[in-house]
Amino acid sequence: MLTRSSTELVRQRNSVLVLAALRRHGALSHTEISDFTGLSSATISAITADLEKGEVIEKSEQQAASGRGRPRVQFRPRRDCGYLIVVIISSDGVQYSLVDYAGTLIDRFSEERSHDPHGAARFADAVGEGLERLLSRSRLSRTKIKLISLSSKGLVSSDDAVLLWSPIFGSERIDFEAALRASWQAKIILDNETLLVAAALGAREDAGNPDGLRSLAALSLGHSIGLGIVRNAGPAEREISAPNFGHMLHVANGGLCRCGSRGCIEAYAGFYAILRMAFEVPDDTIPAKFVPVGELDKIAARARQGHRMSAFAFRQAGVALGNGLSRLLSLTERMPVAITGPGTRYYDLLRPGIEEGLAQSHMVRMQGMPELRVVFDEPLLVFEGHLNRALSVIDGDIVQAGFHI
């Protein structure tokens, strides 16, 4: 609101509006774009002509037969306008994906991550090598890569692509911007993984019913706990954030967390915490680095057969999550919570605790229990979130640069 406006800016904004419509609804004709954006037909002519001359969009070959009258000619993004690399960093490894401007996957491979403990410094270089490999396999010009979109669990400074805290490297920071800037002129962004899940769910949601949803939280359960929030601020404008939920204080002087603090939510609801409690290990024991899922499956099986301590471990985990969510909801507005991640397989065991933990707060007593839903297929959502976010960033950059830099 408080920066000066000019007529050129109007054109820029309306151009990204057109591109966004194309992303959301696929190939569109002149009149459809006009309908979706609310811009007049004449303006659409002007903008599409510009975008076409700038080699950003192209006329689709197959024109949708629309009955009588002059046939519609559809526009769509040009695949070769620019390329995007998606890098998903997980505890097992790193997945590299090359995607074109139309959002279709071109190449993908994964690399094992060395579990070198003091490898934080080296890790950024390893990612650099992975990127080089992807580029050389593609035979594309380096300048065609417009954006490198990274994601990881943990705490992230998204402005400057610095990983501040991660489950694997702790508080050894990794500055991807600094590490990659020399070799790439592509923009580099880094987001929290669960934030992207939330973004994807939000996009799916209001693809179904536009402006139906106000906000939504995604809670990812696994070895660590992630949370992403998407909030509809203003007309069709989404705002996303990734609070440091897993390491929010659950109880003062509580169980020892992987991060070195005591009493974090993760120290009760992370996989290692459930394991610790199920085996009645003192809660100041140093947490296990990795817990195979099979191990937790066994505990879950025992809990389902009535083993008291195993059931209690899941219930305690649920209460920690429920209390945390209640605190979150006290600070925001009421919103539905989508639960994802490998931990969803134990949702039957966690749910009673979550509801108990939620019910202990003023907020829930006043406004009722928030809607809880379980969403599977987390990896797919992460990738979808990358695409949603990255492609719209590229759109903005291209338009701002006056098509083609």
Taking the complex as a whole, the smallest distance from the CB of residue 18 to DNA amounts, in Å, to: 9
Is 344 a binding residue for a second copy by CB under 8 A? The answer is: no
Site string for a second copy, 351-370 (x = CB under 8 A): ------x--xxxx-xx----
Is 390 a binding residue for a second copy by CB under 8 A? The answer is: no
Among DNA, a second copy, none, the one that 65 touches (CB under a kind-dependent 5 to 8 A) is: DNA
* Sequence-separated contacts (24+) of 256-259 with Cβ below 8 Å: 256/283, 256/284, 256/285, 256/286, 256/287, 257/287, 258/167, 258/224, 258/287, 259/165, 259/170, 259/171
Residues 286-325 binding a second copy (CB under 8 A) are 319, 323
Taking the complex as a whole, the smallest distance from the CB of residue 129 to a second copy amounts, in Å, to: 29
Is 41 a binding residue for a second copy by CB under 8 A? The answer is: no
- Closest to 258 (Cα-Cα) out of 303, 305, 214, 225: 225
Residue 88 bridge partners (DSSP): 95, 151
DSSP annotation string for 24-52: HHSSEEHHHHHHHH---HHHHHHHHHHHH
Among 1, 2, 3, 5, binds DNA (CB under 7 A): 5
Contacts of 75 (CB under 8 A, 6+ apart): 22, 27, 28, 29, 30, 33, 48, 51, 52, 57, 58, 59, 60
- Closest to 189 (Cα-Cα) out of 160, 156, 212: 160
Among a second copy, DNA, none, the one that 66 touches (CB under a kind-dependent 5 to 8 A) is: DNA
Tokens coding 81 = 């306008």
Among a second copy, DNA, none, the one that 70 touches (CB under a kind-dependent 5 to 8 A) is: DNA
Tokens coding 70 = 């002059």
Question: Residue 260 class from Cβ within 10 Å (0-12 exposed, 13-18 middle, 19+ buried)?
Answer: exposed
Among a second copy, DNA, none, the one that 247 touches (CB under a kind-dependent 5 to 8 A) is: a second copy
Taking the complex as a whole, the smallest distance from the CB of residue 64 to DNA amounts, in Å, to: 9
Taking the complex as a whole, the smallest distance from the CB of residue 51 to DNA amounts, in Å, to: 12
Is 4 a binding residue for a second copy by CB under 8 A? The answer is: yes
CA gap 80, 82 in Å, rounded: 5
Decide whether 73 or 124 has the Cβ nearer to DNA: 73
Among 16, 46, 164, 393, binds DNA (CB under 7 A): 46
Neighbours of 321 (CB within 10 A): 28
Is 234 a binding residue for DNA by CB under 7 A? The answer is: no
> Distances in Å between the alpha carbon of 49 and those of 18, 37, 71?
12, 16, 18
Decide whether 60 or 244 has the Cβ nearer to DNA: 60
**∠ CA(235), CA(236), CA(237), 5° rounding?**
90
Residues 213-252 binding a second copy (CB under 8 A) are 235-237, 243-245, 247-249, 251-252
Is 405 a binding residue for DNA by CB under 7 A? The answer is: no
Is 158 a binding residue for a second copy by CB under 8 A? The answer is: no
Decide whether 40 or 171 has the Cβ nearer to DNA: 40
- Closest to 382 (Cα-Cα) out of 213, 192, 240: 192
Is 374 a binding residue for a second copy by CB under 8 A? The answer is: no
Tokens coding 29 = 């004709």
Is 252 a binding residue for DNA by CB under 7 A? The answer is: no
Is 11 a binding residue for DNA by CB under 7 A? The answer is: yes
User: How do beta strands 105-112 and 83-89 pair?
Assistant: unpaired
Name the H helices within 279-377. 293-304, 308-331, 347-359, 362-367
> Distances in Å between the alpha carbon of 362 and those of 246, 359, 368?
22, 8, 10
Decide whether 171 or 285 has the Cβ nearer to a second copy: 171
Among 16, 20, 39, 126, binds DNA (CB under 7 A): 39
Binding residues vs DNA (CB under 7 A)? 4-8, 10-11, 14, 29-31, 38-43, 45-49, 65-73
Binding residues vs a second copy (CB under 8 A)? 1-7, 9-10, 13-14, 16-17, 20, 37-39, 164-165, 171, 235-237, 243-245, 247-249, 251-253, 257, 259-264, 319, 323, 326-328, 330-332, 357, 360-363, 365-366
